Chains A and B, each alone.
Chain A
Amino acid sequence: MPRTDFDPIAIRKEFPALDQTVNGKPLIYLDSAATSQKPRAVLDALDAYYERDNANVHRGIHELSRRATIAYEDARGRVGSWINAVEPSEIIWTRGTTEAINLVAMAWGLDNVGKGDEILLSVLEHHSNIIPWQLLAKRTGAKLRYIELDEQGRLILDDLDSLLSRRTKIVAISHVSNALGTINPVKRITEAAHAVGAIVVVDGAQGAVHTKVDVQDLGVDFYAFSGHKMCGPTGIGVLWGRRALLDAMSPYQGGGEMIHFVGREESTWASVPHKFEAGTPNIAGAIGMGAAVDFLSEIGMDAIAVHERDLMAYAIEKVGAIPGLTIYGPTSLDERSAVLSFSLGDAHPHDISTILDSDGIAVRAGHHCAQLVMKHFGVAATARASFYLYNTKDDVDRLVDGLEQVRTIFA
């Protein structure tokens, strides 16, 4: 049940790491697009598992193994319901979004992509949604094609039909850009991709974090996301896939847990999802991610989205008014998420970040693992402030003060 009112100041108190000073100033954490902070509820779930239930899953007859298995599988079910999966077995635990995308590239790609086939990406992608496809293309002789960006960092979809053909086997696209915050029209792209028989793989690392994701409504075939960006632990993520596709796929890695019968030359595989979960999984991570889903559900994804939209409107107005400051990405709030990528005069983003850090303000500086995006805008790097449910308008005011100091130093 969602809470009745949304109070970011009360929410902030549930995050122990946010209650500290950095360089003598109260911490203002504006780097949630890199990784979010963790609420007490998630930290407690990790402790409870290690302190009481720690045992390997699906292997033991004893009580602790039973408890660990229940907690682990229960988390799978909750994450599945949260994104409207048909059944829990469509949720495959991975190390994160990156491993989930690599899994599709190898386990689906190697069996279904051949010489002359095409994989359609966009210039907006994070390296984790480019490099796995480059590796697949090298091994299969497939060709990569790219959807280009307009001057606001939005996908140019006018010529989408000409980019797609019967040769297109995979369309891999991010739900939300980590570098600019652009929200992509995934449904529209999916309809066009399906019309030519391609599958659609979505990098949801920045998507599931901020909005309610309904994989049925999106209509996609695979959706990948990470625990650590949505209040969960590091080292755990999810690949959701359609059951029929997962059933038909070869395993990704071999080892314990993923087998049925093992012979000297040949073996048979466990059913989905275990077929894709070789070795002892990140049990605590999965349980922590389940707790993160509970936490976010209780607050309500819609309330989080409304809060972030308000915050972004305020940030764009206040930060955008600083002389010499350029904001990258879509101008319309309907098309952007809680990411503010910017540059300020001739101050390099590193210098901006160092000066802000001396004020206790954490922002990211660099290419954000999106070098194609940086090239598009003709910059080597940008500074990026990213917001989440625990940020407030006061945080934006502090950021503005910090940026004024950057202007003074680089006057």
Chain B
Amino acid sequence: MDTPQLSSLYQQLILEHYRNPRNKAELKEKTVEIHMANPVCGDEIRLQLRIEGDHIAEAKFVGQGCSISQAAISMMTTLLQGRKLDEADALAKRFTEMMHGDEDASKDKALGDLRALKGVSKFPVRIKCALLGFDALQEALKKDGAGETH
């Protein structure tokens, strides 16, 4: 009964991140925090970043939700540690491209573990789950950038 699409959606790496999320803790020295929720389904996260000058010194999150949203944000925060702000923004754009079915994006090594989420693009109603963390990231970058020119 298991379809190929379903197996590509629920890869072991995704379930592993879901059950053992990285960077899931309150960040005491945060400089920006974004609360992002999907009111339709009840998924919600708070993304917390410590931004120092032009880079993200530390990224953590708290929250709860489905395997896709939680795995995506676990993978995302892993990639964000020490990342320059424009790199983080580029990562968000690249991931969004992959969610919209871009084959090149899905092979881009820059996306790290996030490439395991490629299969989500075949499940249109779940794409917003995968994007929850990156939506929060983009809000955070906007908020940090407000009043400054990068």
Contact = CB atoms under 8 A, between A and B. Distances in A.
Interface stretch (B21-29, B52-60, B63-71, B100-108): B63-71
A354 B9 contact: yes
A410 interface: yes
Interface in A350-388: 350-351, 354-355, 358-359, 365-367, 371, 374, 380-381
Contacts of A366: 40-42
B15 interface: yes
Contacts of B125: 354
A252 to B, nearest CB: 27
A298 interface: no
Contacts of B65: 348, 350, 380
A351 B6 CA distance: 10
A350 B3 contact: no
Contact of B3 (A23, A349, A374, A401): A23
B146 interface: no
A44 interface: no
Contact of A350 (B6, B15, B44, B129): B129
Contacts of A367: 41-42
Given A348-B67, A350-B129, A351-B66, A358 B5 contact: yes
A351 B44 CA distance: 16
Contact of B6 (A346, A371, A409): A409
Contact of A348 (B2, B6, B9, B66): B66
Contacts of A267: none
A359 B1 contact: yes
B126 A350 contact: yes
A374 B10 contact: no
A409 B2 CA distance: 9
Contacts of A381: 41-42
Nearest to B67: A351
A374 B65 CA distance: 14
Contacts of B2: 405, 408-409
Nearest to A374: B42
Interface in A134-180: none
Contacts of A365: 41
Nearest to B5: A358
Contacts of B41: 350, 365-367, 381
- Among A350, A358, A371, A380, find the residue whose CB has the most chain B CB atoms closer than 10 A: A350
B64 A405 contact: no
Contacts of B10: 351, 355, 409-410
Nearest to A408: B2
Contact of A358 (B6, B42, B44): B6
A350 B67 CA distance: 8
Contact of B68 (A351, A359, A380, A410): A351
Nearest to A24: B3
A351 B36 CA distance: 20
A365 to B, nearest CB: 7
B93 interface: no
A348 B15 CA distance: 11
Contacts of B43: 350, 380
A351 B43 CA distance: 12
Contacts of B1: 359, 401-402, 405
Contacts of A355: 6, 10
11 contacts: A349-B66, A350-B41, A350-B65, A354-B9, A358-B6, A365-B41, A366-B42, A374-B42, A380-B43, A405-B1, A408-B2
Given A366-B40, A374-B42, A402-B1, 5 more contacts: A346-B19, A358-B3, A358-B5, A367-B41, A371-B42
